[in-house]
């Protein structure tokens, strides 16, 4: 028995598996996320369960809202301004008004390691956390450890060492990651402690937290390095999509998670999500393995507005959980994507969402009508315009993780989930000429499903100090040993599998690619694999040019062992509702998804309702029910 709980911007999604029975709940997200988690677990009937797996935005919110701890940083002589200098690039090359995010450590709180009164000056600043980030610590971390010991000899302070957070070269990114982890550590630690205390033993005997790498880890590991959980929630949906792709035998899919605040997309190849070594959240680079998710501010709660030039815009501002879209009847007055779908009839005007959110069609129409007046168009035209604009945002997002990286989106299937994903998926697949759309079971809470399916995962990177590709086998052996030991230390058991990836580049390049390697695979196989990957990603390979080995990453995993039962069938249900098809209002069939047997085919235009989500089948599309209950939409 297990319960997965994913916190979103509007709703907290709950999936409780009790043997062969699944209970799904949506409750409103609370300012203190732990309160919504506990109330959601209770609403689902979870009591004294063995496992709670949690996807949280606590770290992300604290970083974006700049509500972290006071951090003091110690670095090398001449590197005090490293956080400002970065890579000397501009966030937007031709924007003279662009603003970088504020540094997480004030300049007066940064010190050079050679300062003769270093320890006294650090203690005098009364920091919550001290970061030690020396430029060559990835080669040898003993100097960082020596400074930590000197600090702890005179003060009881939490000290973060950069080589323990990200044991890789690139002094700026490693320092940024260590500072980010330190900035978030007290907040995340208090949150997870509060959650664990409230959940244990009433709800769970054990709490695991989703990490950005697509795996879960014990609370203590997540709290030690909060930089690893910055994409905790979205990673759950990617993990569930990868499992679904494997089960259905679909080699290439793109996950499409549209929630209340944002849309997250990720490319998955042969059942494995693309993993990035470096990600950036809120303008802060983090050197941790992360599922390569691209996020845009386009969700059901995204607010529609008119810019100074008179053009219709959507997002990135969101109505959030409170007050939410105008159609939620909670005091929201601004028009959103959800309100547009209510006006168009695609969302049931009599529906009740989450924990008692009743749709108010009149309020949705009023909000859209105010916007329509400013645009000199009808309410329906404004609603259609909102849908068109938000879908253009999401189309570009899908292109970013596919076409922009050298992959043809037309050969992929779009896996749509989240509360609003299946409302827009068919239109997006048509825009991109994609193979098909798959809507999984429990689509409205699919990220929470993914939490339960995700393996326990620990990543370890062993850097190459001389960049020699001939050292790949030696580094691979070392990485396997280190990853296995780290897994045992975190979990208490041996991992079931350890997979290896080499980080390589051509001589003269500044960034590397990740390519899978086998133990004792040798240098020749590494060079061949790297050349093939470089050709795929960049359109060319420099055959014969020397290859440099930057490092080897080992990923130790153990499967969750949790299976999600197929939803219990219900009697067929069919009614009719007036829905705008994009051309005109029509009476279309409305089906309850649980009443559709495998093999059923629903021709568009039609609506299929699934509790926490709605599937819009536009004209020219047909939805087929697969053997496992998933829906496949094709033209």
**Mind listing the pLDDT tens digit for each residue in 470-485?**
999 999 999 999 999 9
Contact 233, 216 (CB under 8 A): no
* Contact criterion met (CB below 8 Å) for 452 and 56: no
Nearest to 556 by CA among 506, 495, 475: 495
pLDDT of residue 233: 82
Listed range (180-189, 495-504, 556-565) with the worst mean pLDDT: 556-565
Rounded average pLDDT over 239-262 = 93
SS3 504: strand
Tell me the CA distances in angstroms from 604 to 162, 317, 581, one per residue in order.
55, 32, 9
Q: Is 324 exposed, middle or buried (0-12, 13-18, 19+ CB in 10 A)?
A: buried
Other Cβ atoms less than 10 A from the Cβ of 22: the count is: 20
Q: What is the three-class DSSP state of 280?
A: strand
Q: Please calculate the CA angle 143-144-149 and round it to the nearest 5 degrees.
A: 95
Q: What's the average model confidence in pLDDT over 11-19?
A: 90
Of 54, 55, 51, the C-alpha closest to 205 is 51
- Assess contact for 373 and 306: CB atoms under 8 A: no
Distance set, CA 571 to CA 34, 568, 593 (Å): 37, 10, 10
Does residue 471 sit in helix, strand or coil? helix
For 291, phi and psi rounded to 5 degrees?
-60, 135
Residue 305 backbone zone (phi > 0: left; psi -120 to 50: alpha; other: beta): beta
- Convert the pLDDT of each residue in 429-463 to its tens digit: 999 999 899 999 999 999 999 999 999 999 999 99
Could you write out the DSSP letters of every residue in 112-123? ETT-TTHHHHHH
pLDDT at 17: 92
* The pLDDT of residue 1 is above 90: no
Q: Give the pLDDT mean for 13-21.
A: 89
314 Cβ contact partners less than 8 Å away, ≥ 6 residues apart = 298, 302, 303, 304, 305, 337, 386, 389, 390, 393
Minimum mean pLDDT range among 85-94, 104-113, 264-273, 581-590: 85-94
- The yes-or-no verdict on residue 113 having pLDDT over 80 is yes
Residue recorded with tokens 């004209």: 619
- Residue 210's beta-bridge partner residues? 216
Do 576 and 588 contact (CB within 8 A), yes or no?
yes
Question: Other C-beta atoms within 10 Å of 98: how many?
Answer: 10
Check: CB of residue 265 under 8 Å from CB of residue 401.
yes
190 against 19, higher pLDDT:
190
CATH code assigned to 2-63+188-229: 3.30.420.40
**Average pLDDT value over all residues in the chain:** 92
Task: Delimit the CATH 3.30.1490 region(s) of the chain.
Answer: 456-558
Q: Which DSSP string corresponds to 323-340?
A: T--GGGTSS--S-BHHHH
pLDDT of residue 354: 63
Scanning the structure block, which residue is given the tokens 């239109």?
427
What is the structure's pLDDT at 262? Answer: 86
Residues of the chain with CATH 3.40.50: 68-184
Check: CATH 2.40.50 for 68-184?
no
Nearest to 26 by CA among 440, 497, 353, 281: 353
Chain Cα centroid distance, residue 399: 17
Over residues 201-223, the mean pLDDT reads 91
pLDDT on residue 405: 84
Architecture of the domain spanning 456-558: 2-Layer Sandwich (3.30)
Residues 6+ apart with CB under 8 A from 621: 426, 603, 604, 633, 634, 635
pLDDT at 625 over 80: yes
**CATH 3.30.420.40 domain extents, the chain:** 2-63+188-229
Share of the chain above pLDDT 70, in %: 100
Q: What is the pTM of this model?
A: 0.89
């Amino acid at each position: 028995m297990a319960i997965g709980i994913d916190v979103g911007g509007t709703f907290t999604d709950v999936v409780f598996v009790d043997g062969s029975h699944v209970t799904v709940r949506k409750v409103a997200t609370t300012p203190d996320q732990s309160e919504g988690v506990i109330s959601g677990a209770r609403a689902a009937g979870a009591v004294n369960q063995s496992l709670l797996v949690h996807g949280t935005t606590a770290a992300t919110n604290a970083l974006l809202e700049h509500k972290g701890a006071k951090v003091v940083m110690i670095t090398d002589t001449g590197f005090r301004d490293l956080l400002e200098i970065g890579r000397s690039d501009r966030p937007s090359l031709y924007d003279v008004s662009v603003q970088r995010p504020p540094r997480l450590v004030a300049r007066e709180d940064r010190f050079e390691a050679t300062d003769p009164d270093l320890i006294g000056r650090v203690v005098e600043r009364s920091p919550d956390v001290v970061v030690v980030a020396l430029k060559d610590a990835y080669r040898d971390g003993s100097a960082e450890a020596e400074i930590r010991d000197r600090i702890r000899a005179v003060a009881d302070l939490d000290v973060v060492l950069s080589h323990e957070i990200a044991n890789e070269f690139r002094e700026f990114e490693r320092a940024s990651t260590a500072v980010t982890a330190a900035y978030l550590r007290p907040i995340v630690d208090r949150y997870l402690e509060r959650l664990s205390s409230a959940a244990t033993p009433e709800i769970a005997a054990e709490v695991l937290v989703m990490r950005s790498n697509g795996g879960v880890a014990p609370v203590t590991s997540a709290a030690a390095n909060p930089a690893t959980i910055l994409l905790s929630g979205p990673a759950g949906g990617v993990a569930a999509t990868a499992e679904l792709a494997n089960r259905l035998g679909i080699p290439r899919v793109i996950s499409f998670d549209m929630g209340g605040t944002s849309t997250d997309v990720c490319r998955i190849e042969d059942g494995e999500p693309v993993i990035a070594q470096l990600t950036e959240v809120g303008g802060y680079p983090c050197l941790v393995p992360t599922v390569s998710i691209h996020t845009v501010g386009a969700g059901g709660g995204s607010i529609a507005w008119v810019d100074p030039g008179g053009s219709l815009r959507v997002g990135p501002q969101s109505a959030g959980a409170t007050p939410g879209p105008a159609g939620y009847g909670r005091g929201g007055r601004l028009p959103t994507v959800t309100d547009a779908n209510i006006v168009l009839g695609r969302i049931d005007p009599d529906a009740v969402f989450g924990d008692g959110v009743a749709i108010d069609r009149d309020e949705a129409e009023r909000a859209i009508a105010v916007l329509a007046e400013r645009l000199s168009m009808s309410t329906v035209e404004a609603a259609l315009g909102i849908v068109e604009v938000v879908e253009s945002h999401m189309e570009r997002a899908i292109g970013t993780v596919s076409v922009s990286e050298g992959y043809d989106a037309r050969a992929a299937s779009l896996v749509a989930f989240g509360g609003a994903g299946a409302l827009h998926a068919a239109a997006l697949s048509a825009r991109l000429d994609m193979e098909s759309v798959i809507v999984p079971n429990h689509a409205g809470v699919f990220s929470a499903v993914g939490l339960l399916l995700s393996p326990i995962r620990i990543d370890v990177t062993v850097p190459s100090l001389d960049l020699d590709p001939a050292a790949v086998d030696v580094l691979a052996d070392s990485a396997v040993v280190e990853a296995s030991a780290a897994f045992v230390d975190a979990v208490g058991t041996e991992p079931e599998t350890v997979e290896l990836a080499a980080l390589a580049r051509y001589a003269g390049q500044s960034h590397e690619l990740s390519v899978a390697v086998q133990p004792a695979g040798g240098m020749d196989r590494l060079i061949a694999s790297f050349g093939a990957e470089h050709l795929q990603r960049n359109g060319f390979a420099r055959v014969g040019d020397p290859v440099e080995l930057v490092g080897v990453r080992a990923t130790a995993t153990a499967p969750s062992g949790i299976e999600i039962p197929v939803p219990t069938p219900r009697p067929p249900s069919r009614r009719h509702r007036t829905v705008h098809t994009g051309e005109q209002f029509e009476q279309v069939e409305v089906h309850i998804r649980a009443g559709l047997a495998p093999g059923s085919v629903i021709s568009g235009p039609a609506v299929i309702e699934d509790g926490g989500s709605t599937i819009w089948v536009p004209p020219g599309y047909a939805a087929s029910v697969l053997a496992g209950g998933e829906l496949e939409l094709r033209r």
